[in-house]
Each structure stands twice: as structure tokens, then as C-alpha cells.
Amino acid sequence: MEQAKTLIERGKTALGIELGSTRIKAVLIGEDFLPLASGSHEWENRFEGGIWTYTLQDIEEGLKSCYRALKEDVSRKYGITLRRVGAIGVSAMMHGYMPLDGAGNLLSPFRTWRNNIASAAADRLTELFGYHIPARWTVAHLYQAILAGEEHTRRIDYLTTLEGYIHLRLTGRKVIGVGEASGMFPVDPATKGYNAAMLEKFNALIAGKVPYKVQDILPKILLAGEEAGTLTEEGARFLDPAGDLESGIPLCPPEGDAGTGMVATNAVRVHTGNISAGTSVFAMIVLDREPKKPYPEIDLVTTPAGELVGMVHCNNCTSDLNGWVGLFGEFSRLAGAECTQGQLFDLLFHAAERGETDCGGLLNYNYVSGENITGVEGGRPLFVRSENSRFDLANFMRAQLYSAFATLKLGCDIMLKEEGVRLDRITGHGGIFKTEGVAQNILAAAIGAPVTVMKTAGEGGAWGMAVLADYLLRGKGRTLEDHLENVVFAGQEGKTLFPDPAIAEGFEKFIARYRAGLPVVREAVGRIG
């Protein structure tokens, strides 16, 4: 404790902050990369005016609440006030759309990754570029707004994402990490910059509709380890209104949660991959070549160091599952058997282990929001069973867990089976893996590859962002791949589970029913308001 206290007082630490979909989290790490303190703030997106969003008040108050909780944790554990750190990194839910005017005012409500409203624009850009553009990417949102004649598009001075916005408020710098940049506009892995040919095509497309070229409003791209500015006095007060935090702290390039997930799982080297499971779920596999053709299920992005990555991103993972666990929690309280959230997850996940490998014929769709991989336009969670299904708690919970990874499997099968992508190791992280072995075992069977979970799996992207901040300070002379492998993760323990053939066979039966039932979900979107 005294050693940790000394590190904090001397600023020999790194702070990672990540604004996730349901929680804002801050993690302070020491020189051994272990968490010294943390803070969090729970929040939820709003569905307003036909879009998924968070207000600026949500963002600013949530960030300050999270940092205040971190300070309180430091005070409680070490009896000191947090005044300085060695470096800071900010991450957030990937991509989205935050257009600002010349005075820094937000011109349109923040449009999160969860929105599928830019599908028409994304399809046109995919055809124009010969390169898959997902509907959640920033350029798709921009072009959709231009097509719709939204007046604000003519007044955009700077277009950024959520972590880019926070970084601007903290430092005054208009920059973004290359991994997040690759989800704003396609990036050329050879140059580590925006794709020049596609910039030219896009500018020709919007000529006369807006008074700028797109590269003039996009943030400058930075690679992991590059300096991205320092905390200004105004930025320090924005984060810590109490006035304790000192200015002048260096910041690393801001990254999306896809990038921090890769870092948190040591998956930035070619032929490695990671799966990040939370509100959404995505698999990232670092490629040695581009796929033979564009696939709507596979996005091409980069690591925080600029290496090409094949990404399967699914909008839905744990939200529906969390809802059911919450329902069982209500019942336990009514029955006088109070359980903590952790106990509930452990009880219900271990119950799933007793279920039949094909879930006894039960079927679940976890679509709280629309799902791009399966072409479902809106959120309609459905649980379905036939008269012959074996309906019990074990099968029900197994169906929930299968559903969490089902859409991911559809995309991963393309990369691993159709494209023959080489995958030496894949690592999972996120809260769903906290109950040891259960979700990990099911995921391995779903994708047909061994899955490793590290002890830091539950810390997630905020910890990964803190590692990137530390890399800015102590990574000189080492590639990010070598720094992670030989310094950060050296000697760290992880558990690897290989696919269980029986579970894999049962999952294939489940996924066959899942595919067959998708028209029912699409019909529900159109029929049920």
C-alpha cells in the first residue's frame, strides 16, 4: 500500500478512461500495469427523435462523476488526494457522429454506433469505393445527413467521435488514434492515413453540397505512442471541477473501444485476435492480407499501431441477457433470497452448463437494437419455443448465452472458413467472462477456435486505454506488439479452452434454427411497434 501511495503521489501512473455504452470507467494503473484504483458511472443511451444518443449533459456529468469516484477510491485506499498522473488516455464506444461548428458547438445530437439510420448512404459508399462501409461509420452518417439535406452539414468545422470530442475538451487538439480513424473514413494501412483515392471519390460526390473537402473536417491521425497534447487548465477543470487535478499531463491518442479491446487482450500482432463482449460484441483478427472481396459482415479497420484488422461487429450481445438476469434478481428479492449481481450471474451461468447442447430446442434473439449482420432493422428481442421444446432454466440460460454469440459466429465463419484466415490465438474480454469458463467454453465452440481469457478480462477497455497511456511514457524504442508481449503481458496468467465437439455440434443445430427464424424477427420489427 505504501509503495502504491508513493507511485500515485509522484505521478508514476497511467489513467485510462472509457465511455462505454452502459458504463463510464476509469482505471489508474501503476508501473506493473495492475489497477491501483478505479471509478465508474452507470448511464444509458436514449432513443430520441429516431436516433440512439447521449446528451452533452449526460456525457459531461457522467465523465465528472466517474472521475470523482476514482478520486474517492484513491482517498479511501491510500488516504491521499489524486492530483497528478503520468499520462492519460481517453476511449469511447467506437465511431458515431459528432459534428462541431467553428466555436466547438455540437451541431446535431450525438449519433452512436447503435444507429442503423445511415444504411442507404453506407450502401452507396460501399458501391462507390468497392470497399465495405458499415452504417455506423462516421462517413456514412455524414453522407446520410447530406443526402437528407440536413442544414447543419454546411456548417461543420470539425467532425469527430465521442472520445475525440472529450480529447478536444481536455487538450484543445483535433486528433484521433488510427484505429478509431479507420472507422471514421477508410484508412490505407500502407500510409497509415485516410485512403487518398477514396477521399477524392467522396469529395467529388459531395461537391457543391457542402463548402469543404472531407479531409479538412476530419481529425489528424496519430499512431499509438505518439504525443497527442497535454491537459490544459480548462481541461483539468472539465474533468475535475474540484480543482485538484494538475494541468500539463500528457495524453496519448484517443482510441475507440475496439482498439482498447485489442490492447487489453494482447491482440495487435498479425494472426492474433480478440473478442470484446459487452452491449455489443465484436471479433478483431489482425490480417496479413485483405480479403478476396468485400463482405458486408466484415469491416476493415486497424490496430492502434495501424495494422490491418478484419472486424465482425454485432450490435447486440449482453443487453437482453442482462435484462433476464435482472428479472431473476427481482424474483429472488420477492422470495426473500437477496443475491448480489455477481452471485446472480454465477448461479444462472452455471445453471446453463447443465443445459442440453442444442438448448433443448429453445431459441432466442437478443436484438435490443437493429442488427446489421442479419439485416434486422430494429430492436425486437424474441424468445421462441415449440410444443416439443424442453423448457427449463438450464436450457433457457444456455439459449441466452448462445444467442449472445450467435450473430458473431455468422461473421466469424466467413473469415475463418470461407477466407481461410490464419488465427494463432484469440482472446476474450468483457464482463460476460467473469464467471469462469462458462461463456468462454460456449464461445470456443461457436467459432471453432481456442479462446483465452486473461485475469484482466473483467477490467476491459479502460485498462487497455491506461496501457496505451503508459506506452506513451515508457514504450520508446519498442513496437506496440513487442511492448505488450514482452512487457505488459510477460508472465501474466490466462486460461485457454478448446472447442468441445459436443457443444460445437449442438451450437450448429441451434444456429440452423436461428437462421431459419430470422424472417420472424424481421416481421416482428414491421408488425410490432
Percentages helix, strand, coil for the chain (3-state, rounded to 5) are 40, 20, 40
pTM for the predicted model, two decimal places: 0.84
The answer to whether residue 508 is domain-embedded is: yes
Statement to judge: residues 36 and 54 lie in one domain: yes
Statement to judge: residues 364 and 513 lie in one domain: yes
Statement to judge: residues 74 and 45 lie in one domain: yes
Statement to judge: residues 516 and 392 lie in one domain: yes
The separation between the first and the last C-alpha atoms of the chain, rounded to the nearest angstrom, is 55
Domains held by the chain: number: 2
Statement to judge: residues 368 and 437 lie in one domain: yes
Statement to judge: residues 479 and 508 lie in one domain: no
- Residue 398 near residue 363, CB atoms below 8 Å: no
CATH classification at residue 257: 3.30.420
DSSP 8-state symbol, 252: P
Low-confidence ranges of the chain (pLDDT < 70): 456-459
The answer to whether residue 171 is domain-embedded is: no
The answer to whether residue 308 is domain-embedded is: no
Distance CA 438, CA 428 (A): 12
Statement to judge: residues 434 and 480 lie in one domain: no
Statement to judge: residues 258 and 342 lie in one domain: no
The answer to whether residue 305 is domain-embedded is: no
Residue 192 neighbours by CB under 8 Å, 6+ apart: 178, 221, 223, 302, 306
Statement to judge: residues 253 and 346 lie in one domain: no
DSSP 8-state symbol, 359: G
Q: Hey, what's the cell of 421? A: 484466415
The answer to whether residue 414 is domain-embedded is: yes
DSSP 8-state symbol, 279: S
The answer to whether residue 214 is domain-embedded is: no
Statement to judge: residues 522 and 414 lie in one domain: yes
The answer to whether residue 69 is domain-embedded is: yes
Residue 36 neighbours by CB under 8 Å, 6+ apart: 4, 7, 8, 13, 28, 29, 30, 74, 77
CATH classification at residue 509: 3.30.420.40
DSSP secondary structure letters along 261-296: HHHHTT--STTEEEEEESSSEEEEEE-SS--SS--T
Statement to judge: residues 436 and 348 lie in one domain: yes
- Residue 98 near residue 55, CB atoms below 8 Å: no
Question: What is the structure's pLDDT at 116?
Answer: 79
Statement to judge: residues 512 and 406 lie in one domain: yes
Structural domain range at position 477:
1-93+229-236+249-264+461-494
Q: What is the CA radius of gyration of the chain?
A: 22
The answer to whether residue 160 is domain-embedded is: no
